[in-house]
């Protein structure tokens, strides 16, 4: 579960390393899970010259992995070791990076983020 103030790892090649959650966009709850949009502030970048995003910038992002359990059916759960996101454009919700490091869950196949599946290295469940 991600809440305001959570530190997240950026899992694409947009140039960022860590981000801080500022606001949860899609629902009015205090927590959000995999597949929800959030607003983030970039805290550290890999290289100032080659990165597509700037340190201190505010961007939209989508959560792809969380440390807490997510229930799929009655008896199946999935759990990751880190909280990670993908940085999106502000206008048309497309990813800034061209590659995604690590696997994604199968639920992105049935959402409006179908392009993320083709950029990913693998699919789970």
Residue 27 is encoded by which pair of tokens? 């629902």
| pLDDT the model gives residue 4 | 94
**Helix and strand element counts for the chain (H, E):** 1, 9
Residue 36 is encoded by which pair of tokens? 């929800």
| pLDDT the model gives residue 69 | 82
Q: Global pTM?
A: 0.89
Q: d(Cα 29, Cα 27) in Å, to the nearest integer? A: 6
Domain extent for 58? 7-97
79 assigned to some structural domain: yes
Q: d(Cα 51, Cα 7) in Å, to the nearest integer? A: 20
How many domains is the chain partitioned into structurally? 1
| pLDDT the model gives residue 85 | 95
The CATH number for 19's domain is: 2.40.150.20
Mean pLDDT, contiguous 10-residue spans, the chain (125 residues): 93 93 87 91 90 92 89 79 92 88 86 86 81
| pLDDT the model gives residue 117 | 87
| pLDDT the model gives residue 107 | 82
Q: d(Cα 71, Cα 51) in Å, to the nearest integer? A: 35
| pLDDT the model gives residue 66 | 92
| pLDDT the model gives residue 100 | 92
119 assigned to some structural domain: no
Residue 85 is inside which H or E element, if any? strand 84-88
Note whether 38 and 64 are within 8 A (CB). no
């Amino acid at each position: 579960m991600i809440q305001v103030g959570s530190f997240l790892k950026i899992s694409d090649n947009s140039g960022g390393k860590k981000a801080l959650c500022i606001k949860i966009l899609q629902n009015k709850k205090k927590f959000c899970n995999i597949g929800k949009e959030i607003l983030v502030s970039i805290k550290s970048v890999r290289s100032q010259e080659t990165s597509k995003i700037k340190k201190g910038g505010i961007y939209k992002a989508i959560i792809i992995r969380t440390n807490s359990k997510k229930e799929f059916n009655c008896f199946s759960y999935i759990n990751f070791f880190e909280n990670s996101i993908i940085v999106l454009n502000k206008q048309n919700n497309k990813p800034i990076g061209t590659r995604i490091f690590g696997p994604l869950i199968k639920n992105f196949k049935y959402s409006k983020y179908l392009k993320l599946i083709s950029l990913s290295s693998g699919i789970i469940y």
